[in-house]
A and B are shown apart, each in its own frame.
Chain A
Amino acid sequence: MVPTSYYLVLSAILFGLGVVAFVSKRNIFIIFMSIELMLNAVNLAFVTFSRSLGQLQGQVFVFFVIVVAAAEAAVGLAIVILIHRNRGTLNVERVDSLKD
């Protein structure tokens, strides 16, 4: 049996990758995907703890996260499409009209 810590390390690595991509990438689409990656890293941690502690709450919570992530993806993608349509770019550094 694979020890619990392996899963947790994998989850941490996935989350760290997500964070790095979230901060460093300029393409809004990649940023969006890095958020999904972080969410799934968290889901993995939830399931791991659920299993090791023998409690179901963690798995139930994962369902909620998936549902919210799906909704967020739907809305987020719509926004991405609209930004692309209006500005012809996906570079977040050029989406800065709030500054004015």
Chain B
Amino acid sequence: MPALSYLWIIPLLPLVGAAANGIFGARWPKNVVTGVALSSTTLAFLAALEVVREFMELAPYQIPWTKSYFTWISAGGFRADFALQVDQLTVIMLLVVTGVGWLIHIYSSGYMHDDPGYRRFFSYLNLFMFFMLVLILAANYLLMFVGWEGVGLCSYLLIGFFFTKQSATNAGNKAFWVNRIGDFGFILGVLLIFRTFGTLDFASVLPRAAAMAADPAGQIGTLTAIALLLFVGAAGKSAQLPLYVWLPDAMEGPTPVSALIHAATMVTAGVYMVVRSHAIFLNAPVAMQVVGVVGCLTALFAATIGLVQTDIKKVLAYSTVSQLGYMFLACGVGAFSAGIFHLMTHAFFKGLLFLAAGSVIHAVGGEQDMRKMGGLRKKIPVTFWTMFMATLAIAGAPGFSGYFSKDEILEAAQHASPVLWGLGVLTAGLTSFYMFRLLFLTFFGKERYDEHHVHVHESPKSMLAPLVVLAILSVCGGWMAAPQLWGGVNHFQHFLAPVLATASEPATAAAAETAPGGAEILQTLFGAPVIAGLLGFFLAWWMYCKSPETPKKWAASLSAPYKLLSGKYYVDELYAAVIVRPLVWISDKVLWHVVDEGAIDGAVNGIATVSRESGDRLRHVTSGNVRSYAAWIVAGALVFTSLLIWMVN
């Protein structure tokens, strides 16, 4: 098993690329920088493929395949190895991260071509790949945390990539700070895991968590506390309520970054972590409920904001938050494989949507406002058709990848709670509406851009090729689950089953009952989510194609809800008033002027003043007069002698 023994090569390749470009890239011509960046990710992808090929030949008892390379920390009873692990879950993440990451690297070489920060961009992007691969390959929570923090750092660096723009640096800071809150929960969860189990290795923590008695429903025991703390971390990284606020702002970064980090990979790390820890969550019913409800509410909440956004990337950002909500909804109702399935298909179609949006922005010369686009369908056909495929996929059109994953989630939700299911279906309708709204505003109707100044052109081949590949994946990516429709095996779920052996999959139980007939297949195909999606499509078509005056009329007649939505529910303002401003006030008035200036500066300056003053006084002792020195010596000797005599007596 050569490749499996050298797992470390996969994360190392992008790290080498990042270091080479970061240190020496300034002296290299642009095509060498491109070569280094692309070859490191290509090789990582090929290495991942080889690892997966070898993994498939392993006997079941060899899985998870764990490889410990060296002891990283050993202190008393605590021990953490630099150990990597491969199991079915890792395989899926590995293929998504290296595959989609590789495509987006290729795209970036076209998109960022004329940017002065080209070298810096690829250095960060490669570094991100390194940390993301560490995160998914890690065999214990601590190493996972390294990757977790690392991707957060790269996210910050890339959001603030255009650092001369104040809004971009602000957005980077915001992302970093909000993530700190989540990371704090995560590290507390990790500490509690260590306290409870005495180790952080997945291989020993998870089976023991599964063997433990479940916390009683409605009570918060140790496992529930761990699960909730981990979920705080997941909510920060994966932009769930109430920590989602950083993701829409993260769109200040370059578009390939939005595609790779803020849609396809990093933001799904929270979902991955929850699924990885499913043994803990399953024994914590309260935590499961929290996950499911938070996920469902986030999905609905973000989708409603997405309805009225006018910035093409903002729509996609809220859509990402919403889709991540779906994944947590799946986890919360116990359908972990459905969550990972949606993670994968989402990586394809949302990555594609962002890349296509980047191609649109590229075509209209940097404009992001959809109100200033329109009628681009004929001018940039490849972008249009690929984006159309992705829109169908995310809207859940039957047969497309998003259909299978979303349907699986909603089916599982239906078994768990009709309310969650209803909200999920409603969200599916909203998703379809805002996505077709985006499509119609951008590609149909009148040209609303300034034709004299904007020369619309299709993007270069390096950008179109990844679009086409991702479009194919967006269409076909879900077909693994297709046989389920006619009573066959859901290959995706079947593949993940060994990892999730402890999880009871409600969807499996339901599907295994009977092989459905033709009418039932039709019923499944055109179930409630699909009907909701169709309604969303027709509404969008009617509002933005048939009679384009409707949106304005509706916005005028429903001004209060419209304002609430376009103001994003004023959550940012609320946070500013409740958290940020009081914090700034306390920092300014108390911490700065009282604690820092008063206590800390006071202590430091006080010591300095005392020594200066006493020095000033004592200075006169050294008069330079030998006889006064002689007198001091005698006086000192006298004092010392009398002290000695006094002590003896």
**B contact residues around A23 at 8 Å (CB):** 627, 630-631, 634
Name the interface residues of B612-645: CB closer than 8 Å to any CB of A. Answer: 623-627, 630-631, 634
Q: Are B623 and A99 in contact (CB under 8 A)?
A: yes
B630 touches A31 (CB 8 A): yes
- Per-residue CB contact flags for chain A residues 41-76 toward chain B (1 = under 8 Å, else 0) read 000000000000000000000000000000000000
A22 is contacted by which of B623, B625, B634 (Cβ under 8 Å)?
Answer: B634
Bound-state Cα–Cα, A92 to B625, Å = 8
How far, in whole Å, are A19 and B631 apart by their CA atoms in the complex? Answer: 9
Using CB atoms, name the residue of chain A closest to B631: A23
B residues near A95, Cβ cutoff 8 Å: 626
- Which B residues from 464 to 499 make CB contacts under 8 A with A? none
Q: Which residues of A contact B626 (CB under 8 A)?
A: 28, 92-93, 95-96
A contact residues around B625 at 8 Å (CB): 92-93, 96, 99
CA distance A92 to B630 in the complex (A): 11
A84 within 8 A of B: no
Q: How far is the CB of B347 from chain A (nearest CB, A)?
A: 80
CB distance from B635 to the nearest CB of A (A): 9
CA distance A26 to B634 in the complex (A): 16
Chain B contacts of A97 at CB under 8 A?
624
Chain B residues within 8 Å of A96, by CB: 623-626
Q: A19-B634, A22-B634 are in contact. Are A93 and B624 (CB under 8 A)?
A: no
CB-CB under 8 A from B631, the residues of chain A are 23
Q: Which residue of B lies closest to A92 (CB)?
A: B626
Most B CB contacts (10 A, CB to CB) among A31, A96, A97 go to A96
Cβ contacts under 8 Å, A19 to chain B: 634
Residue in A22, A28, A99 whose beta carbon sits within 8 Å of that of B624 in the complex: A99
Instruction: Indicate if A98 sits at the interface (CB-CB under 8 A).
Output: yes
Q: How far is the CA of A26 from the CA of B626 in the complex (A)?
A: 9
Total count of chain A residues near the partner, CB < 8 A: 14
CB neighbours of A100 from chain B (8 A): 624
A26:B627 contact, CB within 8 angstroms: yes
Near A by CB (< 8 A), chain B positions 595-627 give 623-627
Task: Please indicate the chain A residues that have their CB under 8 angstroms from the CB of B624 in the complex.
Answer: 96-100
Cα distance, A61 to B624, chains bound together (Å): 34
Q: Interface digits, A79-100 against B, CB 8 Å rule (1 contact, 0 not)?
A: 0000000000000110111111
B627 in contact with A93 (CB, 8 Å):
yes
Return chain A residues, CB-CB under 8 Å to B630: 22-23, 31
Measured CB to CB, the nearest residue on chain A to B635 is A23
Shortest CB-to-CB span from B633 to chain A, Å, is: 8
Task: Name A34's closest neighbour in chain B (CB-CB).
Answer: B630
**Chain B residue with Cβ nearest A19:** B634
Give every chain B residue within 8 A of A26 (Cβ-Cβ): 627
A28 to chain B, nearest CB (A): 8
Tell me the smallest distance from the CB of A9 to a CB of chain B, in Å.
17
A48 to B624, CA, bound (A): 39
Q: CA of A22 to CA of B626 in the docked complex: distance in angstroms?
A: 11
Q: Which residue of the partner chain B has the closest CB to A20? A: B634
Shortest C-beta distance, A25 to chain B (Å), equals: 9
A23 vs B633: C-alpha distance in the bound complex, in angstroms? Answer: 10
CA gap between A2 and B410 in the complex, in Å: 118
- How far in angstroms is the closest Cβ of chain A from B640? 14
Q: A27 → chain B, closest Cβ, in Å?
A: 11
Q: How far apart are the CA atoms of A96 and B630 in the complex, in Å? A: 13
Residue of B whose beta carbon sits closest to that of A26:
B627
What is the distance, in angstroms, from A76's C-beta to the closest C-beta of chain B?
A: 13
Min CB–CB distance A66 → chain B (angstroms) = 21
Q: How far is the CA of A98 from the CA of B625 in the complex (A)?
A: 8
Q: How far is the CA of A100 from the CA of B627 in the complex (A)?
A: 16
Residue in chain B with minimal CB distance to A100: B624
- Taking the closest CB of chain A, its distance from the CB of B182, in whole angstroms, is 66
Closest chain A residue to B623, Cβ basis? A99
Expressed in whole angstroms, the Cα–Cα distance for A98 and B629 within the complex equals 12
Closest to A24 in B: B627
| Residues on B with beta carbons closer than 8 Å to the beta carbon of A98 | 624
C-alpha spacing A31/B629, complex, angstroms: 13
Q: In the complex, what's the smallest C-beta–C-beta distance from A22 to chain B, in angstroms?
A: 6
Q: How far is the CB of A33 from chain B (nearest CB, A)?
A: 14
Complexed CA–CA distance, A93 and B624 (Å): 9
- Taken residue by residue from 1 to 31, chain A's Cβ proximity to chain B (1 for < 8 Å, 0 otherwise) reads as 0000000000000000001001100101001
User: A residues within 8 A CB of B634?
Assistant: 19, 22-23
Of all chain B residues, the one with the shortest Cβ separation from A95 is B626
CB neighbours (8 Å) of A93 from chain B are: 625-627
Separation of A97 and B626 alpha carbons in the complex (Å): 11
Q: Which residues on A sit within 8 Å (CB–CB) of B623?
A: 96, 99
Nearest residue (CB) in A for B627 is A92
Tell me, rounded to whole Å, the shortest Cβ–Cβ distance linking B54 to chain A. 83
When chains A and B are docked, how far (Å) is the Cα of A25 from the Cα of B634?
A: 14
Closest to A31 in B: B630
Shortest C-beta distance, A31 to chain B (Å), equals: 7
Residue of B nearest to A97 (CB): B624
Tell me, rounded to whole Å, the shortest Cβ–Cβ distance linking A85 to chain B: 18
Alpha-carbon separation in the docked complex, A100 to B623 (Å): 9
Question: Shortest CB–CB separation between residue B17 and chain A, in angstroms?
Answer: 66
Q: How far is the CB of A8 from chain B (nearest CB, A)?
A: 15
Closest to B625 in A: A96
Q: Which 8 pairs, one residue from A and one from B, show the smallest C-beta to C-beta distance?
A: A99-B624, A98-B624, A92-B626, A96-B624, A96-B625, A23-B631, A92-B627, A23-B630
Interface residues of chain A, those whose CB is within 8 Å of chain B, are 19, 22-23, 26, 28, 31, 92-93, 95-100
Q: List 27 A-B contacts (CB under 8 A).
A: A19-B634, A22-B630, A22-B634, A23-B627, A23-B630, A23-B631, A23-B634, A26-B627, A28-B626, A31-B630, A92-B625, A92-B626, A92-B627, A93-B625, A93-B626, A93-B627, A95-B626, A96-B623, A96-B624, A96-B625, A96-B626, A97-B624, A98-B624, A99-B623, A99-B624, A99-B625, A100-B624
Q: A31-B630, A92-B625 are in contact. List 4 more A-B contacts (CB 8 A).
A: A23-B627, A26-B627, A96-B623, A96-B624
